[in-house]
Structure 1
């Protein structure tokens, strides 16, 4: 992933450099052309001074100069093509003796090739330049035999070919490092934004949980107790209308609270809602994962839609009964039976003494809580030992009264 990022950064800055500076490129080409013509005008030709070279008119050097300066115009978009044209112009110019203007143009084209060419090309150019320098040095020594001339020619060849390539490669590396640093800074900024977003999401989730814990339970309790009070009142009792209004308002407030919690948690987050009887299967699976042998049956399966108060109370009773069985009867099998009839819902949870059995009536509020949940909805509750020496929890919750 890191290497891909580097290639992308190189591509971005290379394209940016190639696409910009058209006016500067034209100005550079014109500057070299004018400078070269001035050199020709003052007689600075025959730069290489090859013995036995051809004799030409000094203004003949303007032709390879014009070709080399024309190649400079395409050095950003096509650096290797421009370098090839420049090398041909330099070869022709050197054959006639050489002019300083073409040498300046070749230096610029070598620098541009190192700076603007694709990845991997500059190092190949450096290797080729070193090979040419060694070849020129060797040929000079073989032909002339003078060590001094050989060293001078080798230094000149290296200065002409190696220096602009080294300079261009150095500038290229610095720009790549700068772009990589900018890309890294951008990645750090994006990471910081993601962390901030996660923190905000976590805070919203925490607020949603606190809203649910602080208000949803109280609103559910109001709905449950008002429904229980309605079940004990006569239909024409003067308080019945007020109780119905209280229950309706509490249920509407609970629905609005759920909408607020959903908005706080955001799309894609799990919604907080009171547990229902349909989720007992997940509860049983979780208890079984801890090594407890649980037998669960529900009639009908799946259970029908129930009033929210009855649905929630049934789940909590089963949950508390399972918790008591696994806590007080270690290793005992637990049987859970839920039956939904037309007018009522029945829950039976039983377990044997197991390897170790503590009296469930001692030291806990589980039985009291289950009793209160059942009786608050007008139902009944009983817990105790049966004739088979099993601990049995029975709860019956009317369905009709909860819908009044």
Structure 2
């Protein structure tokens, strides 16, 4: 909460309490409920004389939350003056309110001191009453009244304070438990990501490096042009895959200096150029160009869907041309990747993990996904990803 807002609420509550006590005190005076006990001494006081200490006590209520001990001191002075004239219920109510506030809002060491002060006040009032009146019965009656007047609000305020402190301790303990659980979960995720990074490196890095090395060695010899082109494409693809895999390993390990940032739609042109260098006929249209700024998760997922769909076409429909259409609309990104039947089509077209992965990427962001044959005998991958989404806030590789 803003300090000014807190100050405004605190001041409003104080004014409301002070006005309520003042109104109640004046009402009691107007109906004749004035003296709580007989005046100390022989002086005759007008009932409306009690308005002065009542106003002082109500003024103390205005600062009882910010300065509880100062407010209590002012209230005790007003109560002493009012009590000499016989006391009034309005001032007593104000003092009860100030005692309660002092027990509730003062510092941690204050409640014990308040108890000591209350005992001292009871003793002092007893002695003063006996010295002034010389009446033992009136002294005992005054002693009991002061004890009840001071003890009840102090006990009440301390009880509420204790319950509040216990509730705060329970809330702090719950926060600590939640934080510990989050740390344990983060540690488990970090360990799993590290294990995945090790497995990925052990399973693929060696093979990709071997492919790149052997293809480069083959290119260094006397190789026909057609085979050289194929070997060059193989080497280029393996080196690119190796670099991207290293970047993925860095991201899994949580390294700040990962080799590359997550791929984005702006890199589709490079993806298409790489496919064309491997002999794949690709027609690509991206609108608008340049691509506007997109949410990172949407941008990355859209690129991965295009990449996977293009890779599927290259693997499962050899010799077929591929058409890529990416359109960034006002509320979504529309992706269409289609290809005709190739000279070789495997039985796994559209049924492998690639299709499942693309579907998961789109649906995780609140989008849609479909893949299948169209009436004109073309395989079409169609995905839409909304731009405004809270389904995923981090980039996944």
**The two structures share one fold, judged by TM-score above 0.5:** yes
Q: Distance in 1 between matches of 2:161 and 2:70?
A: 19
Report the CA distance between 1:236 and its aligned residue. Answer: 5.8
Structure with more relative contact order (C-alpha pairs < 8 Å, separation 6 or more): 1
Whether 1:107 aligns to 2:64 is: no
1:182 to 143, 166, 171: 171
Q: TM-score, normalised by structure 2?
A: 0.56
Whether 1:252 aligns to 2:252 is: no
Q: Distance in 1 between matches of 2:35 and 2:229?
A: 116
Which residues of structure 2 form unaligned runs of 5+?
260-397
Is 1:18–1:77's contact at 8 Å kept on the other side of the alignment? no
Q: Distance in 2 between matches of 1:135 and 1:60?
A: 24
Change in Cα spacing, 1:102 to 1:189, as seen in structure 2 (3 Å) is same
Corresponding residue for residue 172 of structure 1: 161
Corresponding residue for residue 277 of structure 2: none
1:263 to 251, 258, 261: 251
Corresponding residue for residue 66 of structure 1: 55
Report the CA distance between 1:128 and its aligned residue. Answer: 0.9
Q: Distance in 2 between matches of 1:39 and 1:98?
A: 12
Corresponding residue for residue 124 of structure 1: 113
* Root-mean-square deviation over aligned CA pairs: 3.4
Corresponding residue for residue 76 of structure 1: 65
Which residues of structure 1 form unaligned runs of 5+?
1-11, 272-404
Q: Distance in 2 between matches of 1:221 and 1:188?
A: 49
1:212 to 201, 214, 220: 201
Is 1:234–1:240's contact at 8 Å kept on the other side of the alignment? no
Corresponding residue for residue 265 of structure 2: none
Counterparts of 1:373-392 in structure 2, within 5 Å, are none
Is 1:50–1:97's contact at 8 Å kept on the other side of the alignment? yes
Q: Distance in 1 between matches of 2:123 and 2:144?
A: 10
Q: Distance in 2 between matches of 1:58 and 1:86?
A: 19
- Listed one character per residue, the Cα deviations across residues 311-353 of structure 1 (whole Å, up to 9, x for unaligned) are xxxxxxxxxxxxxxxxxxxxxxxxxxxxxxxxxxxxxxxxxxx
Aligned length: 258
Q: Distance in 2 between matches of 1:19 and 1:166?
A: 29
Q: Distance in 2 between matches of 1:144 and 1:67?
A: 27
Counterparts of 1:312-327 in structure 2, within 5 Å, are none
Report the CA distance between 1:107 and its aligned residue. Answer: 1.1
Counterparts of 1:134-213 in structure 2, within 5 Å, are 134-137=123-126, 151-213=140-202
Q: Secondary structure at the match of 1:20?
A: helix
Is 1:54–1:97's contact at 8 Å kept on the other side of the alignment? no
Report the CA distance between 1:63 and its aligned residue. Answer: 1.6
- Listed one character per residue, the Cα deviations across residues 369-398 of structure 1 (whole Å, up to 9, x for unaligned) are xxxxxxxxxxxxxxxxxxxxxxxxxxxxxx
Q: Distance in 2 between matches of 1:74 and 1:155?
A: 29
Change in Cα spacing, 1:135 to 1:24, as seen in structure 2 (3 Å) is same
Larger Rg: 1
Q: TM-score, normalised by structure 1?
A: 0.55
Report the CA distance between 1:160 and its aligned residue. Answer: 1.3
Q: Distance in 1 between matches of 2:223 and 2:31?
A: 122
Q: Distance in 2 between matches of 1:157 and 1:116?
A: 22
Corresponding residue for residue 326 of structure 1: none
Is 1:17–1:116's contact at 8 Å kept on the other side of the alignment? no
Compare 135-144 and 62-71 and name the one that shifted more: 135-144
Report the CA distance between 1:140 and its aligned residue. Answer: 5.8
Q: Distance in 1 between matches of 2:173 and 2:66?
A: 28
Compare 22-31 and 203-212 and name the one that shifted more: 22-31
